[in-house]
């Protein structure tokens, strides 16, 4: 089936550092989503992207919809301890109501 590959799988960073992660696919998608999951909770939508090349910010988070429509990137600036969690990318299969999620990037922040 279709897969979304996220990298890195996990990362440890110091508080205050910037973070970059990405999500790639072998297929083209027209909707890219980024979610965050806190430990023991369900995912929460951070940013939705609908246009190739689009750059969208939400506070310290910035996400970009790749120009090839096969990838997306998420950056977190000046990380803080509450940024800890798993970050998932997701796409909607065109013409359907189905979503595919990536395998996640696990972020740990060292104070």
Partner 1 sequence: NAGVTQTPKFQVLKTGQSMTLQCAQDMNHNSMYWYRQDPGMGLRLIYYSASEGTTDKGEVPNGYNVSRLNKREFSLRLESAAPSQTSVYFCASSEEAGGSTDTQYFGPGTRLTVL
The site for partner 1 (CB under 8 A) is made up of 1, 4, 31, 33, 40-45, 48, 88, 90, 92, 96-104
**Is the CB of 67 or the CB of 99 nearer to partner 1?**
99
We find the least distance from the C-beta atom of residue 101 to partner 1, in angstroms, to be 4
Nearest distance from C-beta of residue 62 to partner 1, angstroms: 19
- Of 1 and 59, which has the nearer Cβ to partner 1? 1
Contacts 24+ apart (CB under 8 A), 79-83: 79/13, 79/14, 79/15, 79/16, 79/17, 79/18, 79/19, 79/107, 79/109, 80/15, 80/109, 81/15, 81/109, 81/111, 83/19, 83/107, 83/109
At closest approach, how far in Å is the CB of 47 from partner 1? Answer: 11
Number of H helices and E strands in the chain, helices first, is 0, 11
CB of 50 to partner 1, least distance (A): 9
| Tokens 């189905």 -> residue | 98
Give whichever of 4 and 109 is closer to partner 1, judged by the CB atom: 4
């Amino acid at each position: 089936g279709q897969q979304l590959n996220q990298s890195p799988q996990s990362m440890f960073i110091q508080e205050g550092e910037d973070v970059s992660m990405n999500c790639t696919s072998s297929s083209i998608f027209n909707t890219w989503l980024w979610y965050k999951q806190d430990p023991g909770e369900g995912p929460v939508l951070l940013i939705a992207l609908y246009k190739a090349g689009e750059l969208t910010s939400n506070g310290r988070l910035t996400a970009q919809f790749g120009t090839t429509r096969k990838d997306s990137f998420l950056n977190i600036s000046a990380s803080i301890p509450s940024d800890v969690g798993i970050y998932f990318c997701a796409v909607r299969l065109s013409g359907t109501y189905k979503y595919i999620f990536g395998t996640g990037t696990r972020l740990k922040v060292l104070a």
